[in-house]
Every structure is written in structure tokens, then in C-alpha cells.
Amino acid sequence: MTPAARAQAAIDLLDEVIGAARDGGPAADTLIARYFKTRRYAGSKDRKAVRDLVYDAIRRAGERPESGRSALLGLARDQPDLAACFDGSPHGPAPIADNEPVAEARPLPKWILPRLAPLIDRAEQAALLDRAPLDIRVNRLKATMDMARAAFPDAMPIEGLPDALRLPEGFPLDRSDAWDQGLVEVQDAGSQIIAAICEVQPGMTVIDLCAGAGGKTLALAADMAGQGVLIAADTVRSRLQRLAPRAERAGAGFIQTLLLDPGREASALGNHEGKTDVVLVDAPCSGTGTWRRNPEARWRLTPDRLARLVQEQARILDIAAPLVRDGGRLVYAVCALTDAEGRGQVDAFLARHPGWRAMPQATPPGRLWGHGRLLSPRHDGTDGFFLAVLEKS
């Protein structure tokens, strides 16, 4: 493909990504994979170049652009070589006309700014779109840190996290034997911190109430050394189904999965009422803290959707609270940096549930924020999270 043809392919793909973000369609990665499946003439260098253009244009535009062309024209403003591709050649984009709409360069949508925790200043906001590192967790059910260091000699330890390593950018982890054999798991340092503050022990009864595909469940399983009761619950069957093979690979076969009926979660969890040592609520959220991994998610979130998420988080917290035994803990986490989902959500929980208290937070990592703690890419080198530990007294 010529550089101009690559630019046109990026425009076509960006049109699809914008449409999918508006209408709740597939993720950008899925659209890119589909696009190239039907265009076998594109070689690996073409694919990489087009993909980079698409993601650079997405990262640059905090607001959803009106078209793929306006998104790429925005990028072309910063890249003269790309601007030169708008040359009207047979497979390339038409020449740039006067007064064409051009996507504005800004890291975040304007409407979200007043909703972010004030700790997230302008430099922090820009860092929410930086490239994310590749962190792994040594799976203590199968390996030791020494084994992992031998398998990944270029990996760097992460301060404060005894099982965490950071790999060099672009490291082909999926081609390593250590990963294939379940000695390590891909897991952002922030997620590892959340599993650690659960302070689960072998023999406990633990529920991961919003387990998804089980990233944090697997970390809890390692802390429990495979002993006790660990239930991974979620309302989405396809996510829970992805956990089973991961658990097998990780040597965590004792994990039980529980599919919940949305709106009737409490009935499936009734047996555990008042008996659970730790309930983790890693709630569905705006994902503001992980926009560096899913930058097009900025184009999907709306004020209405955020309001619905806040309501749903409160409802899930109210389902979780009765499950916890006296003296047990409820750990609340969101990969979000809006106050309504974090600090405000926990304040509202404590106001609704007088028998509960927030546990004092040690520093660092992260910064104390309300009754919890805030982690952010710029301050902590992790994805952005709010987390709080609540105790039933």
C-alpha cells in the first residue's frame, strides 16, 4: 500500500470506529481485525502503519470527531508527511479543502473535566492517554519471583508489589513458555494493588462479585494458596466462561463460578449471607482510569451513561453488604477517576449503612482521597483507580 492508501484506509476505519462508538458497536480492535481479514493485499507493515494512524488519531481527539477524515486531518496538522498524503492519488484521500472540519486536539471530553477528582490536574489528564506499560504478576500457585526473573531477565520489579514485574514495551509475552504454562499473568500494577488490599488468607470464604474474566480472582486465588472458598460471580456468561481456562492454566481449579441473573443477584447469593470474609466489588464503571488502554471508550461515555453506572454501583454495593460477616471486609474498586463513582459512592454507602466504617488507609501507593485512595497513571504508574476498604462492625 502507498502511504496515501494507508491514510485512506485509516480514514475508512476511523469512520467505522466513530459509528461504533456512537451506536454501541464493536471495539476498535475488532473493527481493525475485521477490516484486514477482507483485505489480504495488506502486508504486516501496512497493517501496523494503518493501526498506528487509527490509534494516534483516536488518542488525539478527546471528543468524538464528526468523521474519520476530520480525525485524520487533525493528526495531519501535527505530521507534515501525513498531510502530504492528502494528494488525490487513486487510492488516497482527496486534497485538503479550505475550512474543512478538523478534530480538536484535547486528551479528554470537556464534559468529564468537572466530574474528575480535583487531584487529576491538567498534567494528570494528559497522562491518562499515555501508552500503558505491560505488567505481569508472578503466579505464586506455580512459580516464584526468581523463576519469573530468570524467564524475563529484562523485566523490572515494581516497588511495593512483591509479585509484579514490568516488561519492556512491545514484549511478545504470548510467545513465552512461562506465560503459556501459567507461571505469570498479565495484570496492571493497579489491579495487583486492589487484590493485595483485600488481604485474603488461605481458608477464607471470598466472593469476587464482579469477577468478569477473573483477572483479580486469579490474584486472590494465589493469595489464598488454593485453599478456602473463592466464588467468581458475574452477570455476563461470556466473561465468566473466559475464566475457566485461565484458572486451569493458573492451577487455580478451586475457583467456583456463579452466573448471576441481573436484577436478581441477591437470590443466587443468599447462602453466603453474613458468612463471607471478604467481598470484592470491582464494579462496572466509566473506565476513565483505563482510557490509555481503550482510548475510544472516551467517545462512548455520555453523562447519562455515567449517571446510570453510578446508580448500578450503588445497587451492587447494597447487594454485597449483607454477604459480609461481622468484622469482615468489603473492598470497593473502580477503574474510574470521577468522584461520583469513587469518593462520592463510598460516602453515600456509609450514609446508607450505619453499621459500616471505612478502614484507615496506609500511604502509599496512591493518594488518600475521601474514605479511600486514588491511583493514577502519572502519580503511581498504574491504571487509574479509586479503591476503599470497608468493614462491617
Contact status: 236 vs ligand SAM (CB under 6 A): yes
Stretch that binds ligand SAM, among 82-90, 146-154, 231-239, 337-345 (CB under 6 A): 231-239
Do residues 127 and 380 lie in contact, with contact meaning Cβ atoms separated by under 8 Å?
no
CB 58 within 8 A of CB 71: yes
Among 252, 260, 330, 346, which residue sits at the site for ligand SAM (rule: CB under 6 A)? 260
Told to check if 56 binds ligand SAM by CB under 6 A, we report no
Do the bridges between strand 134-138 and strand 184-186 make them parallel or antiparallel, or are there none, so unpaired?
antiparallel
282 is in an annotated binding site: yes
DSSP 29-92: HHHHHHHHHT-TT--HHHHHHHHHHHHHHHHHBSSPPS-HHHHHHHHHHH-HHHHTT-S--TTS
Cα 392 from Cα 189, distance rounded (Å): 27
Rounded to a whole number of angstroms, the minimum distance from the CB of residue 281 to ligand SAM is 8
Interaction of residue 212 with ligand SAM, rule CB under 6 A? yes
* Binder among 2, 67, 235, 361 for ligand SAM (CB under 6 A): 235
Per the annotation, does 12 bind a ligand? no
| Minimum distance from residue 286 beta carbon to ligand SAM (Å) | 10
Q: Which of the residues 307 through 326 are near ligand SAM (CB under 6 A)?
A: 316
Among 16, 265, 339, 380, binds ligand SAM (CB under 6 A): 265
Q: How far is Cα 49 from Cα 61, in angstroms, rounded to an integer? A: 19
Q: Which of 124, 234, 296, 341 binds ligand SAM (CB under 6 A)?
A: 234
- Single out the residue of 391, 363, 358 nearest to residue 379, CA to CA: 363
Q: 347: annotated binding-site residue?
A: no
Residues 6+ apart with CB under 8 A from 131: 169, 292
- List 185, 277, 282, 380, residue binding ligand SAM (CB under 6 A): 282
- Least distance in angstroms from the C-beta of 192 to ligand SAM: 10
8 A C-beta contact, residue 68 and residue 12: yes
Is residue 193 near ligand SAM by the rule CB under 6 A? no
- Is 85 catalytic? The answer is no
Instruction: Choose the binding region for ligand SAM from 16-24, 94-102, 149-157, 206-214 (rule: CB under 6 A).
Output: 206-214
User: Residue 259: in which H helix or E strand, if any?
Assistant: strand 255-259
Residue selected from 65, 68, 284, 381 as contacting ligand SAM according to rule CB under 6 A: 284
- Number of C-alpha atoms within 13 angstroms, CB side, residue 306? 22
Is 337:387 a contact under the CB 8 Å cutoff? no
Instruction: Give contact residues for ligand SAM (rule: CB under 6 A).
Output: 191, 209-213, 215-216, 233-236, 239, 260, 262, 265, 282, 284, 316
By annotation, the residues acting in catalysis are 335
